[in-house]
Chains A and B, each alone.
Chain A
Amino acid sequence: MSSRRSRGGVSEEEINELISRLQTLLPSARRRGGSQASTTKLLKETCSYIKSLHREVDDLSDRLSDLMATMDHNSPGAEIIRSLLR
């Protein structure tokens, strides 16, 4: 935490620090106790996690567009009700 020398490039310990911080966000952090993952593995896992999140958003977008298409005819007030409930 103390050394933040700007060596003209990026020092490896800075990167390691940031990566370990990123690790706590990844779902694999909840499974593992130790912090033994190498940098490349963590980065790769982060990339695939982001990709899977993107895919989930796409699936949910499909689902929502279907729901909205059918909802519009049945119960136009449903969305309003939902927004009130939130």
Chain B
Amino acid sequence: MISLGGGDGGGGSSSSSSSSASRKSSSRAKATQTKWRTGTQQKIYGRRLLDALRATGGAPQPRAVKAAADSALALTARGQTRWSRAILLSTCRRRVLVKAGGKIRRRHHRRPAKAAALEPAALKERKVKERLRVLGRLVPGCRKLPAPALLEETADYVAALEMQVKTMRALADALAAAQLSSASPPETERS
């Protein structure tokens, strides 16, 4: 197996900050940005994706493909982030959740519209909170997260999604090319 030598090594080299908390968070941010962009991660994910797709049995529905891609992504994240753990958990309990709990419990409750505009600062803060709430719904498993943790998860999730798109696109292109080249007589008439 390939060992993760590319992205993991250069994590915490920031020696300018004094408090350990900020050092950890800044090094984690740097690690986030480089981690998902290394070719190593893409290869690992590509392999996991192929394994997951092969396990679907040859003719999966698009939904199954997406589920395979997401769980492969969560595995590649090695359970270090909340969103990846949420995906892995939802894969196990998918059927139960969809049927019983998910749709019934969470009603789409809208808060009453903003009553009276307070000072501009408070109004802006409310907008920010609202945006954070929407963001929390988009990132799996992060609905009730406080803002700093949510933003960290978001950063990792965005980087991971970009890699997922890139890898899936490369796989689709490769498969399409393989099909075109390996004998489809009615298609390739021109030579």
Contacts and interface: CB of A to CB of B under 8 A. Distances in A.
Interface string A38-76: 011001101101110110111011111101111110110
B64 A65 contact: yes
Contact of A22 (B21, B64, B146, B155): B155
B98 interface: no
A71 B56 CA distance: 14
A37 interface: no
A47 B131 contact: yes
Interface in B6-52: 17-19, 21-22, 26, 29, 33, 43, 46-47, 50
A47 to B, nearest CB: 5
Interface residues of B, number: 60
Contacts of B161: 50, 53-54, 57
Nearest to A83: B50
A67 B139 contact: no
Contact of B151 (A22, A67, A69): A22
Contacts of A82: 50, 171, 174-175, 178
Nearest to A21: B29
Range class of the A interface residue count: 35 or more
Contact of B131 (A2, A44, A67, A81): A44
Contacts of A86: 43, 46-47, 50
Contacts, number: 158
B88 interface: no
Nearest to B138: A50
A58 B19 CA distance: 43
Interface of B: 17-19, 21-22, 26, 29, 33, 43, 46-47, 50, 53-54, 58-66, 69-70, 124, 127-128, 131-132, 134-135, 138-139, 146-148, 151-152, 154-155, 157-159, 161-162, 164-165, 168-169, 171-172, 174-176, 178-179, 182-184
7 contacts: A25-B33, A25-B158, A25-B159, A60-B168, A63-B172, A64-B62, A74-B184
